[in-house]
Amino acid sequence: MSPGAPVIKIEGLHKYFGPLEVIKGVDLEIREGEVLVIFGRSGSGKSTMLRCINFLEEPTDGTIEVGGIRLSGGHRTRRKREQIRQLRIQAGMVFQEFNLFPNMTALENVMEGPVTVKGIPRVQAEALAREQLAKVGLADKAEQHPIRLSGGQKQRVAIARALAMEPKVMLFDEPTSALDPELIGEVLQVMKALAHSGMTMIVVTHEMGFAREVADRMLFFHEGVILEEGPPDELISNPQHEQTRKFLSAVL
C-alpha cells in the first residue's frame, strides 16, 4: 500500500525532564498506511517521543497533530484535556509491559475502552472485543484472566485492546522486549498482519528482521534527534553515520 496523506505531524518537538533535554526539536510526518520503525540506544529519547505523541508525556514545546487533532505542548486547560482524550482515541498504544487489568478477563480488558471511553453499549462492545481477540488468535482465551496467559498472549490481548478503539494509528513501544525469546514471534506475527492490512504504525523496536520485512521507513534516534532515516534495506545495509553503524553492528 502506498502511504497516503499525513496522519501524524510533529513540529519542533522538545521535551525536558528538569534541566535535561531529552527530545531536541524533532520534526516528523507519518503518512496513512506507513509503517515506521524507530530504533536507537536506550535513553536516546525514542520511547519519550512516542509517549509525547499521545500526551502520556506532555511535550515541553512544539505541536503534535494526530488524525486532524492538533495540540501544542505546555499548559493543560480543561478544553485541552478533552482534546487529548479525543487524540488518544485516534492513537492506540501498546507498551513493553502489558498493563492489563488483572481482575478482568481478556474479553473484559478489550471491552473496557469502547464502553468507558466511547460509550459503546456493552453488547456491541462485546461483539467488537471478540472480533479483535479472534484477529490476534485468542478467541479461545476470551474468558481467561491475565494470570492464566503467557507473556505473548498478554501482549496480543493488549494489541486487541488498542485495536478495539478503532484508532487511526498504532504506537508500539518495544512491544517484545519483556517477552521470552520463544514468545516474540507470535507477537511479531500479529504486528506483521496488522501492517499488511494497511494500519499506520510507529514501532520502537530492535527487531531488525521485523523492520526489514515490514517497515516502509526507519529512523535512527540518537541523543534526542533523528540522526538518520531511510528505507530499511538502505539504512541497515549502508548506514551513513558512525553512530548508526556502531549500533547496528551490536544488534545484527
DSSP-assigned letters across all residues of 93-138: EE-SS----TTS-HHHHHHHHHHHTT---HHHHHHHHHHHHHHTT-
Distance CA(110)–CA(246), nearest Å, equals: 40
At residue 206, the pLDDT reads 92
Q: Where residue 79 falls among pLDDT bands split at 50, 70, 90?
A: confident
pLDDT at residue 126 above 90?
yes
pLDDT at residue 3 is higher than 60: no
In the chain, pLDDT over 90 holds for what percent of residues?
91
Residues 215, 231: Cα–Cα separation, whole Å: 8
Residue 2 has pLDDT above 70, yes or no: no
For residues 251 and 235, the answer to whether their CB atoms sit within 8 Å is no
Least confident of 19-23, 101-105, 179-183, 219-223: 179-183
pTM: 0.94
**Beta-sheet pairing, 217-222 with 169-173:** unpaired
- For 154-163, what is each residue's pLDDT tens digit? 999 999 999 9
Lowest pLDDT segment from 95-99, 164-168, 202-206, 214-218: 95-99
Three-state secondary structure call for residue 113: helix
Residues forming a β-bridge with 36: 202, 217
